[in-house]
């Protein structure tokens, strides 16, 4: 680990574990290997490949990913119980760089309804889990599930105890997406101060209130140096913090967020596309960075500004995140500038009068539809110019 006071943030990808365990996202072993290849190319620091006790398939996936990508740190999840930890250790047996990730819930709600156990019992189990995991792996991470609804004094006690037991990373998940940024930042700052440089404080945010990325960033500003996240933000319920959004926020707003990751951002879109081809759904069209509309412009004022200078309406170059190019979508809000450009791409240099006429007909069509296709634009051009496409292009 690099100096903890540095601004280097470790990216712990859990697409193949927390992401995979959500509806419509389960993956077979070959699919996990296909996705792992993208994650490795992306440069994630830790790749959580599965929860070996959960199924034979998960066990084999952790084993296969850690062998295929032996130079990458591969993590396997385990509850703070012997059987889980031994299974995780077995799955990672041939890994060159392994991490056992043990967890137990620490909030009173979970203690009462899930476990019916006291705080002391849970503390003892957390410590015993880390101690056992350390007999198999040097690198052990502990997660206090539902940390954000845990009594902070007790959370600090658990955190210090697992660090003393040998955990190198303590993850404080916002398991149910309950936190708001300044509150989460305060909690993280307290734990960072308590552990000092004895362990890395990690964050893992769910998106139930749409705050997972904001919470993760607030946590990093407060001193957390590992972020757990997924491609396309997939994960339990509303999902996990989106890897691409956090990484791009750091990259684009370096002035405000001077944090470094090793992510090769040009691989973000290919990784997102690969995931979409494996699971049952893709990102929503207006999803930041990787959604279909993330680099599409429809409004005439925007298109005009974009055509004069891209910086007017784009804060990132699409190719910097692996998206081949921006798109100007022609619809009822589009203007002459973009329409003229499209006519040019279709092989027609129109006079001003012709463009005016094409524009009138185009808006009449666009008013009735969600967007206008190239063949429809061509049809209008032919109507106005009275020339067949081949002749007009010549």
Q: Which residues bind ligand KIV (CB under 6 A)?
A: 18, 103, 143, 145, 171, 173, 175, 204, 206
3-state secondary structure at position 195? helix
Contact 2, 8 (CB under 8 A): yes
Interface pick for Zn ion out of 9, 10, 18, 84 (rule CB under 5 A) = 18
* Closer by beta carbon to ligand KIV, 18 or else 245: 18
Choose the binding region for Zn ion from 14-22, 42-50, 119-127, 322-330 (rule: CB under 5 A): 14-22
Phi, psi of 323 (to 5 degrees): -80, 125
Q: How far is the CB of 126 from ligand KIV (least distance, A)?
A: 13
Contact partner, 73, from Zn ion, ligand KIV, none, Cβ < 5-8 Å per class = none
Name which of Zn ion, ligand KIV, none residue 298 binds, using a CB cut-off of 5 to 8 Å depending on partner kind: none
Among residues 61 and 143, whose Cβ is nearest to ligand KIV? Answer: 143
Q: How far apart are CA 247 and CA 268, in angstroms?
A: 10
Rounded distance between C-alpha atoms, residue 216 and residue 208, angstroms: 14
32 contact, one of ligand KIV, Zn ion, none, CB 5-8 Å limit per kind: none
Task: Give the closest residue to 143 by CA, choosing from 102, 199, 201.
Answer: 102
How many Å apart are CA 87 and CA 65, to the nearest integer? Answer: 16
Question: What's the chain's length in residues?
Answer: 394
13 binds, among Zn ion, ligand KIV, none (CB under 5 to 8 A by kind): none
Report the residue number, 21 or 334, with the smaller CB distance to ligand KIV: 21
Number of C-beta neighbours around residue 119 at 10 A: 15
What is the Cα–Cα distance from 339 to 355, expressed in whole angstroms? Answer: 8
The residue count for binding Zn ion (CB under 5 A) is 1
Closest CB to ligand KIV among 107 and 340?
107
Min dist. Cβ of residue 236 to Zn ion (A): 6
Minimum Å gap between C-beta 186 and ligand KIV is 19
Any idea which residue has 């705050």 for tokens? 211
- 311 contact partners, CB below 8 Å, separation of at least 6: none
380 Cβ neighbours under 8 A, 6+ residues apart: 358, 361, 362, 365
242 interface partner picked from Zn ion, ligand KIV, none, CB below 5 to 8 A per type: none
Q: Work out how close the CB of 204 gets to ligand KIV at its nearest, in angstroms, rounded to a whole number.
A: 5
Choice between 73 and 143, CB closer to ligand KIV: 143
> In a 3-state reduction of DSSP, which class is residue 98?
strand
Which residue number, 178 or 306, has a Cβ lying nearer to ligand KIV?
A: 178
143 contact choice in ligand KIV, Zn ion, none (CB below 5 to 8 Å, kind-dependent):
ligand KIV
Q: Is 146 in the site for Zn ion (CB under 5 A)?
A: no
Minimum CB distance to ligand KIV smaller for 16 or for 328: 16
Q: Which stretch binds Zn ion (CB under 5 A): 16-24, 52-60, 136-144, 157-165?
A: 16-24
- Residue 270: half-sphere exposure toward Cβ, Cα within 13 Å: 17
Paired with 95 in beta bridges are none
Q: Which is nearer to ligand KIV, 89 or 179 (CB)?
A: 179
Span of 15-23, 118-126, 214-222, 291-299 interacting with Zn ion by CB under 5 A: 15-23
**Ramachandran quadrant class, 239 (left: phi over 0; alpha: psi -120 to 50; beta: rest):** left
Whole-angstrom distance, CA of residue 200 vs CA of residue 181? 20
Number of residue whose CB is nearest Zn ion? 18
List residues near Zn ion by CB under 5 A.
18
């Amino acid at each position: 680990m690099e100096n903890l006071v540095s601004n280097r943030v470790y990216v712990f990808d859990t697409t193949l574990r927390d992401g995979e365990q959500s509806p419509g996202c389960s993956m077979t072993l070959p699919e996990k290997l296909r996705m792992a290849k993208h994650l490795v190319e992306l440069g994630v620091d830790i790749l959580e490949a599965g929860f070996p006790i959960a199924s034979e398939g998960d066990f084999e996936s952790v084993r296969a990913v850690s062998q295929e990508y032996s130079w990458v740190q591969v993590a396997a999840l385990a509850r703070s119980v012997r059987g889980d930890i031994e299974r995780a250790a077995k799955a990672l047996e041939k890994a060159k760089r392994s991490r056992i990730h043990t967890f137990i819930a620490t909030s009173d709600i979970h203690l009462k309804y899930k476990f019916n156990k006291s705080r002391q019992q849970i503390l003892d189990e957390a410590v015993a889990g880390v101690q056992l995991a350390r007999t198999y792996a040097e690198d052990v991470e502990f997660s206090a599930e539902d940390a954000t609804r845990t009594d902070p004094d007790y959370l600090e006690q658990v955190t210090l105890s697992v660090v003393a037991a040998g955990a190198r990373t303590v993850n404080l998940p916002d398991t149910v997406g309950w936190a708001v940024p300044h509150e989460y930042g305060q909690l993280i700052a307290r734990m960072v101060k308590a552990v000092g440089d004895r362990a890395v404080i990690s964050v893992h945010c769910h998106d139930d209130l749409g705050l997972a990325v904001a919470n993760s960033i607030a946590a990093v500003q407060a001193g957390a140096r590992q972020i757990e996240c997924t491609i396309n933000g997939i994960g339990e319920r509303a999902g996990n913090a989106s890897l691409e959004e956090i990484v791009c926020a750091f990259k684009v707003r370096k002035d405000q967020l001077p944090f470094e990751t090793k992510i090769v951002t040009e691989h973000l879109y290919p990784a997102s596309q690969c995931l979409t081809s494996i699971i049952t759904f893709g990102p929503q069209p207006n999803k930041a960075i990787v959604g279909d509309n993330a680099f599409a412009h429809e409004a005439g004022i925007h298109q005009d500004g974009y055509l004069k200078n891209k910086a007017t309406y784009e804060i990132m170059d699409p190719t910097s995140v692996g998206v081949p190019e921006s798109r100007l979508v022609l619809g009822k809000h589009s203007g002459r500038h973009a329409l003229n450009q499209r006519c040019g791409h279709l092989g027609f240099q129109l006079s001003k009068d012709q463009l005016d006429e094409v524009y009138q007909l185009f808006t009449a069509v666009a008013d009735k539809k969600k967007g206008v296709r190239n063949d429809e634009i061509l049809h209008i051009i032919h109507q106005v110019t009275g020339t067949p496409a081949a002749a007009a292009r010549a």
